[in-house]
Amino acid sequence: MEQQEKPESAFEKLNNALKNSVSIKLLSIGFLIGILLIPQSMITSLIDERESSQYEAISEVSQSWAAPLELTGPVLTVPFDDVYIDGDKEVYIKRFAHFLPENLNITGDLSPETRKRGIYDVVVYTTHLDIKGNFDQIDLSAFTSSPESVRWDEATLTIGIPDMRGIQSDVRFQLGSEVYRMESGIPGHLELDMSQGTGKRQTGVNSLVKIDPTQEGTEFSLKLDVRGTKNIMFNPVGKSTHVKLNSSWPHPSFIGQFLPDAPEISEDGFTAEWSVFDLNRNYPQQWVGKQHSIASADFGVSLYQPVDNYQQNERSAKYAVLILFLTFISFFFIEILNKKRIHPVQYVLVGLTLTIFYTLLLSLSEHLGFGQAYLISAGIVITMLTLYTMSILKSGKLAAFMLLFFSLIYSFIFIILRMEDFALLVGSFGLVFVLGLCMYLSRKVDWYNIKSRDKIAPIAS
């Protein structure tokens, strides 16, 4: 009596379907890519976490060095008594009229430094600013009709500096023929609206000054040695404001409301000049109280680190889907064109190896820099995948092909990461080339009769 064949289990049916059905094989490859994107998203979160640690390091260095500089001023404030009638009594209210310079010229040399906080590099700077200009005749007739109500002996000159720790030398302000030593702090009643909605108290220096209301104009000058972290900003308080900065930093990023007129940037540094006029901003030359916010028109430069370590890691992680797809498609074509068979478990191991690349890259780049880390990580992963390919395919020729394939794809991704302006263009043409290659390789494949071809040799999983 013949022994009945044992019916196939569900697992065996699935295994046979994976062996013989191209459609199911492609669907399983797509499913595996989706599953492998889960650890990839975890790596992206890890990159964001490490980048947050870098920002904390910048904040810590700022606290011990100095915060970014935002220079505001000089501003001349003259108090006067405003009178109004309350029943039978005259009530006097002390008010403050603010006057801005007619011309403001600032020339500065910015000297950058790199400080370490743990494994992180933080860009700081010291700068020497030469500030010159002039005030027009101080006239309060637009605010009061009583010249005797003006308190000329309480006229005060203020300069806004956000972090007083950045001041590196005595601040002496020359107004006309008089030289004044500036005192720390800005009294609350003299504060201007510089908060931009943040509600932060203005800090800086101030001094009582002598004002001659009959003088048509008064020149001033100031030399300021100050340091800060990463950014330096200016508020265009002059009716005509001109700022010129020189620095040895080769990667400036111009920020704020105004761009420099004709910056010159080279590997040796940059030179930038701004010209801003009163018509370019949204506040006048003189007003009373806190009617206007003068921080809404600031401009300056950031000592930018182009495509820094974490930005490059994040950009490289975005190509994970592309690398997984190209790798799996390559193995799929090896199955079809070379009558080999690769088990889904082997696809998973290859995919996990590709994913580990990004963890290696992130950890090494924090110590060696992105370029060296990419070379080492890619070398390790390519070596592992080539040896594994040789092991499962039992073919030195196919292993050499995969070595060339992985070397080309990781080199191509590295070139894209190094580019800024042409990354999308080069990447698009690269994808077109890969798609064309796939079309060329599959042009003679009879997809409906693959099962009828010679039996595909299985590969032990």
pLDDT digits (tens, 9 = 90+) for 97-136: 999 999 999 999 999 988 877 667 788 899 999 999 999 9
Residue-by-residue DSSP string for 414-439: HHHHH-SSSHHHHHHHHHHHHHHHHH
- Cβ neighbours, 10 Å, residue 132: 17
Q: Is the pLDDT of residue 461 over 50?
A: no
Q: Is the pLDDT of residue 309 over 80?
A: no
Return the higher-pLDDT residue of 415 and 191. Answer: 415
Q: What is the pLDDT of residue 86?
A: 67
pLDDT (mean) for 7-14: 52
Q: Is the pLDDT of residue 198 over 80?
A: no
Q: What is the pLDDT of residue 26?
A: 65
| DSSP designation for 149 | G
- The lowest-confidence range among 170-184, 212-226, 349-363 is 349-363
276: left (phi over 0), alpha (psi -120 to 50) or beta: beta
- Confidence band of 358 (pLDDT split at 50, 70, 90): confident
Q: Spell out the alpha helix ranges (H) of 78-129.
A: none
Q: What is the pLDDT of residue 239?
A: 95
* 359/348 Cα distance (integer angstroms): 17
pLDDT (mean) for 431-442: 72
Q: Is the pLDDT of residue 164 over 80?
A: yes
- Confidence band of 271 (pLDDT split at 50, 70, 90): very high
| DSSP designation for 193 | B
Q: Is the pLDDT of residue 425 over 50?
A: yes
Asked whether the bond before 74 is cis by omega within 30 degrees of 0, the reply is yes
* 185/201 Cα distance (integer angstroms): 11
Number of residues written out for the chain: 461
- Confidence band of 327 (pLDDT split at 50, 70, 90): confident
The pairing of beta strand 103-117 with beta strand 240-247: parallel
Q: What is the pLDDT of residue 365?
A: 84
Q: Is the pLDDT of residue 195 over 50?
A: no
- Cβ neighbours, 10 Å, residue 64: 11
- The lowest-confidence range among 47-61, 122-136, 155-169, 190-204 is 190-204
Q: What is the pLDDT of residue 192?
A: 63
Q: What is the pLDDT of residue 236?
A: 94
What mean pLDDT, rounded, does the chain reach? 81
Q: Quick one: 390 exposed, middle or buried, by C-beta within 10 A (0-12, 13-18, 19+)? A: middle
Q: Is the pLDDT of residue 441 over 80?
A: no
| DSSP designation for 283 | S
- Please choose, from the candidates 68, 64, 67, 62, the residue with its C-alpha nearest in 3D space to the C-alpha of residue 232: 68
Q: Quick one: 90 exposed, middle or buried, by C-beta within 10 A (0-12, 13-18, 19+)? A: exposed
Task: Let me know: does 273 contact 251? Beta carbons within 8 Å.
Answer: no
Return the higher-pLDDT residue of 25 and 229. Answer: 229
pLDDT over 70 for what percent of the chain? 82
pLDDT over 90 for what percent of the chain? 32
Q: What is the pLDDT of residue 77?
A: 92
* 344/29 Cα distance (integer angstroms): 8
Q: Is the pLDDT of residue 389 over 60?
A: yes
Find the helix packing angle between 22-64 and 320-338, rounded to 10°: 150
pLDDT (mean) for 291-308: 79
Find the helix packing angle between 309-317 and 370-393, rounded to 10°: 30
Which one of 39-43, 286-290, 291-295, 418-422 scores highest in mean pLDDT? 286-290
Q: Is the pLDDT of residue 7 over 70?
A: no
Q: Is the pLDDT of residue 187 over 50?
A: yes
